[in-house]
Structure 1
Amino acid sequence: MVCPKNRVYYLDQPPLIEDLKRVCNRSVSKETYLLASEIQKNIPIYDLSKYAGQHTDKTLVENLQDEWSHILSQGPGAIVLKKTYAIDNLEQTVGGANVICHQIIDDESHRNLKAYDVFTKLAKRTLQVFVNYYSNPWLALVDEALLGPGYSFNATLNIVPPGGRAQPAHRNFHMGFFSPDKCVKFLRLLQIANHTLTLQGAVAHSDMPLPSGPTRFLPFSQLFEAGYMAHRRDEFQEYFQENYVPLPLEKVDGVFFNPSILHAAGDNVTTDFYRCAQLIQVNSIFGKPSEWVNAIPIVDKCWQLMREKYRKEVFSAQMMALIQAVGDGYQFPVSLDNVVRNGDIFGMKTEQDLIMEGLEVDWDHERIIQELKSSQQRRMSPFFDTL
């Protein structure tokens, strides 16, 4: 038997637009995704208000996650979760976060800074809003549908003013940032595996009608193996423009998608409307995030509130969603110099492990911060402080 070719393409064999057309020439219906409320132009839409309070129903959750996993990995590649947050809890979640995030952005703009890390700063500024926002079990359930447990989480607020221009169609994490001459070095299995390392999402902090330019998607395009080699080429950009599906959202709706799907934010053609969303990046324990979030200042501010929440709920779905949003669920990367000196590299506890242990045995504030600092120091090179 002759060993098969394991490269997606070679630089002298550019991807063909006909191949993408064949991949995208398919459709789904309600018979495929039975729990979906509707299918709009091949994008399944789920109304979570129908399942209010049912996030602990094991059968329902497994069925939803089966459908979401298939959509994200083998199906259209994008999913809308209507009413990801409850309308009757708006001011304690999305509304409250919106106000504080805008304050953070305004404060930092006056100091000529750009407020990218509103995730950590939200925790520092308003503990209760942060805890309420990230205690949402639906966030955890859709994340786990693609990535499994132990993921890491970061978020930032995105505001597009009137006149904001559309993006070119693109793929994202992680190889979406690579040029074709770098992509070509990754064999087929690695390029395909890249699809399962990250989940992207956005929670609408304002309504997003079509004129405001909500994100456009090309359903099924994440299944195109040569996508990382192809997405910048003119003929692929043109095909996207002719076939994309825009997804209007209402405030508190969420959209989640495989970062390998061809997508782009649209033009905000309004004269007075600011499109606003909390952008979410969730990373598999096996992948590296685009930015590092330091759990220590978040836990430093939130620990007493987390302890009180744990005493009432133990490890409820809401508690676990919060823990997974705050702490890293993977013990790597590490400095071998430090780890080999200080213990078993395979027995190290993750930040999530330490937070759960601290809640279970009721560590005080000083103890949890000390444990997290020790964990971080074991990851750092002993030469780090000298740089």
Structure 2
Amino acid sequence: MLFRTAALRALGLALCLSLLGTVCGACGQGALGVMPGVVNDPGNLSLRRAILAFATSQLCTEMRKRSVPLRLRDEDPVTGRFYPGSCVAQELANGHLLLQFGGSGVVWTNLTKRMSFDASAAVEYDHDFLMDGDTMYVYFRQRSTTAASFTTKLIEQPAAISLGGVSLAQGSAYANALGAQLLKTEIARGFTVIRDDDGAVQFGLGIIEKGKRPDAPYERRNNGKLLLANERTEVHQEQRDMIGPLEIAGSGEALTLTIAVEGAPGVDVILVPRGTGEPWLQAYLTQPAPAPLTAAALLDEPVYSGAPWRRTVPLPKGQYYLVIDNTSAAGRTQPTTYARDDRAALVSYAVEVGDAP
């Protein structure tokens, strides 16, 4: 389970999300929704491929704008995150898409506590989409994975790790080979990305049937705002979840945050610009102890267990990190320590962007 978690099932999801954003800007999703019978016709694969081809040139640019959550199992809360970095996209002669991509990530398990890693893969995808009214379901079916690498960077609790007497310490050849093999296994499941006509996106491993949805903590609100994230994350003591980058694309806009906490007395909600968040993230990926924030935050508030908390934060055009912090190194709250009891915070959160009040 340790390396199954760390095997970056989200590598492909990051690229699916990126492709979907550029696809729908090019093709006019609403127009496709008025003729789903024509678009969905099995004989019109070449038409759908032509529509998807519009996005290829911008795929890697878009991919680097977001991170992707990691889970132990599909139905579990988020326990880590993958941050894409390098990317090359190429359309093959057979119409498939070859993606070569990599980045860094972090996951939490009860065996390792925090574990960070680098990972990369080269994957050939057979990609297609179907329309369900104005909603687009984009499917990525893996056809081959020609390369996959996985390298552990930091294991917070390395002494506990062994498998059949073989060391799985960070950087060991056995650990990296096992991680790479499980990465290939997860990628082979394929991915589904669901995009509504207002730009809101959901995604999941495997093939999600048209008309169905992954579980999410909040119902979508018909309020004219774009829903950027709607997830449940588990943040253990002395850990944090750095969500983003979150993009404000124009002037006069704001992020609206809705957050509810269970399982722990409270957490800190911190919002920082990407320029501040990137070095803070790198410290979290490489240093055993969580680092304090070295610059002023745009928002730094405690959120306590109980009724949902909501804030609207006007922001200039740019990219930002939302940080759910359960450490003693940042924020105003201090994790309550109990002997042999982690008391992880289960945090349901939604992030929307819309006009500033």
Larger relative contact order (Cα-Cα within 8 Å, sequence gap ≥ 6): 1
TM-score, normalised by the number of residues in structure 2: 0.29
Counting strand residues as a fraction of each chain, which structure ranks higher?
2
User: TM-score scaled by structure 1?
Assistant: 0.27
Which has a greater percent of helix? 1
